[in-house]
Structure 1
Amino acid sequence: MQRLIEEFILKLHSEKNTSSNTEVSYKRDLTKLFIYLNNSYSTDNISDITKEELEGYISSLETIGRAPTTISRNIASMKAFFGYLYQEGYITDNPASDMKSPKIEKKAPEILSINEIDDLLKQPSRNTPKELRDKSMLELLYATGMRVSELITLKVNDVNINYEFVVCHDRKRDRQIPFGTEAKNALVAYLKDGRESLLGENKDSDVLYPNCSGREMSRQGFWKLIKAYGKKAGIKSDITPHTLRHSFATHLVENGADLKAVQQMLGHSDISTTQMYMTPASRRVREVYEKAHPKA
């Protein structure tokens, strides 16, 4: 089974240019599925897997309280994997073809108020190399709305301090995002008095924000960092790196930013994704327009 999963992931990577996060999620979901099938049904042959067995796994996820989003992602993983097996001739029937994902209620993204953002950004206040780095990372994340995966993989040459913009790289295209004075000042202070100390023996590294061992920071490492500063700031809501991305976009739109420009800064391929940051009044106007206008 593991060999087939690896083949499937390789196919996704080479033909669909999937992100590493997507590939990790597929691999994790499918590995857990086959552990369940082995334990519950002693299933060794991929051709013997039935729709009922797959539905049994989904029921087990529901029983232990997995969220609809998690269940929906698992079903998507199954459908993609068994679709691949069917196309490649490993199986003659696709047991996942008719599986239905649960309805997921769309929730407004969790955001911080401007006062909460200010409180959060004040927390790394000491002039230690680590806190200079943390301050710069938080300032730049809120100033640009970039993804945490983009932030932790930034190279020194990706940032233009003089012209105040950063270049973000994803698998499809690069994009330039401007940043302001606060982020610039924090970055200058960090590069002057923090980064070299953190690099240690890795002086030749081009990573902008190394961890305390001088290597590229992990997503989990930054997640723990922002959680700790959120707690220190007294923020009650569940704060994640994506919270700053949502807050960045919402605050821009609330202050009159053009939705198309926000889309470009966030790197959304479809503007409908960006529309969730519209104010309720704006969303209502659009809904009325789309229902009533003959050419909407």
Structure 2
Amino acid sequence: MPPLAFEDLVERYLRHLAIERGRAINTITAYRRDLRVYLDFVQARGIHGLDEVTPADVSAFSQSLRERADAPLSASSTARMLSSVRGLHRFCLEEGLTQTDAAADTKPPKQPSRLPKAITVEQVESILNAAAGDDVVSLRDRALLELLYATGARVSEAVTLNVDDVIAGDDGDGDAVRLFGKGGKQRVVPLGSYARSAIDAYLVRGRPVLSARGRATPGLFLGVRGARLSRQNAWLVIRARAEQAGMTVDVSPHTLRHSFATHLLEGGADVRVVQELLGHASVSTTQLYTLVTADTLRDMYTSAHPRAR
């Protein structure tokens, strides 16, 4: 049996990621894009089969990413792309599709420790209050913002919510939301009273008006034409309300998620609990937030203790 073409190996690897590893569509799309760049690079070097690739070729590819004249990649982007390349080579070796793994010894560049950005409780409240109107768009925006801060949901998780994913408890006790994270993993996160109240107001006075403007959809958050709210429009909602609140710092879709985690830890929550609420696969990811709170404690200690300095 002749060896599979380079492109066929890539597609086989991507199917493995999608079907057997349960990777999300966005992840598959990113891997395909990264591996297209890799294929173009090695084919330009006269290589047309994965078994022909040498460790020197992979190293040259890594170096080319950081030295591109048009747009050199950052350390984090280079590491992500090399992860795609290493995964392809490892998969093909394990499946017996190639004889060697040319990327086995390739190390990603060291990345600086990037701490999550969080805003204060008062700043969060100012953004929430910017959507305090009683019109349908304000009702929706307030419900969306309250849910993001109350649950730490990713914006992609919020816009894929259906109405039935909001779980009612007894007399408001036990209210929760069912979130579907990376790889389709499900988790149930409690809803606070403020978020539940905002969602109820939106469901009663806002969503029916928006829903009547479009085709029937089970989506929780709807756009002005009645379709499910997109990630891009949810981002614009957050940005617009932050500007309306007079925020002088950039507020991204992840800001409320970061603030959710940081404020929980500052309030004494266990890091393992926060890990479950955020849907992190590894506690090491969640522990980044403990560095933020440790910095806050250190600043408070330095300014308050009489013999700190």
Q: What is the TM-score with the length of structure 2 in the denominator?
A: 0.81
1:59 partnered with 2:72: no
1:202 paired residue number: 215
Q: Pairwise mapping of residues 1-296 of structure 1 onto structure 2 (< 5 A)?
A: 1-38=6-43, 40-63=44-67, 64-161=71-168, 162-163=172-173, 164-170=175-181, 171=183, 173-199=185-211, 200-203=213-216, 205-278=217-290, 279-280=293-294
Q: Give the aligned length.
A: 282
Q: Which deviates more, 275-284 or 106-115?
A: 275-284
User: Are the structure 2 counterparts of residues 213 and 6 from structure 1 closer, same or farther at C-alpha, using a change threshold of 3 Å?
Assistant: farther
User: Any conservation in 1 of the 2:214–2:227 contact (CA below 8 Å)?
Assistant: no
Give the SS at the match of 1:175.
strand
- Structure 1 residues without counterparts, runs of 5 or longer: 285-296
Change over 3 Å in CA distance of 1:222–1:35 after alignment to 2: farther
Tell me how far apart the structure 2 counterparts of residues 21 and 120 of structure 1 sit (CA, whole Å).
29
Paired residue type of 1:241 = P
1:154 Cα shift? 0.9
Aligned identity (percent) is 34
The alignment partner of 2:187 has SS state of strand
Range that drifts further, 71-80 or 108-117 = 108-117
1:33 and 1:269 map into 2 onto residues whose CA distance is: 28
Residue matched to 1:291 = none
TM-score by length of 1: 0.84
Gaps of 5+ in 2: 1-5, 299-309
SS of 2:97's equivalent? coil
Give, in angstroms, the shift of residue 173 of structure 1: 4.6
Calculate the aligned-residue CA RMSD, in Å: 2.5
Report runs of 4+ in structure 1 exceeding 6 Å deviation: 281-284
* Deviation, structure 1 residue 165: 1.5
Give the Cα separation in 2 of the matches to 1:190 and 1:57.
51
Name the residue aligned to 1:287: none
Q: What is the rounded CA distance, in whole Å, between the counterparts of 2:88 and 2:285 in structure 1? A: 26
Paired residue type of 1:181: S
Q: Is the CA contact (8 Å cut-off) linking 2:157 and 2:179 kept in structure 1?
A: yes
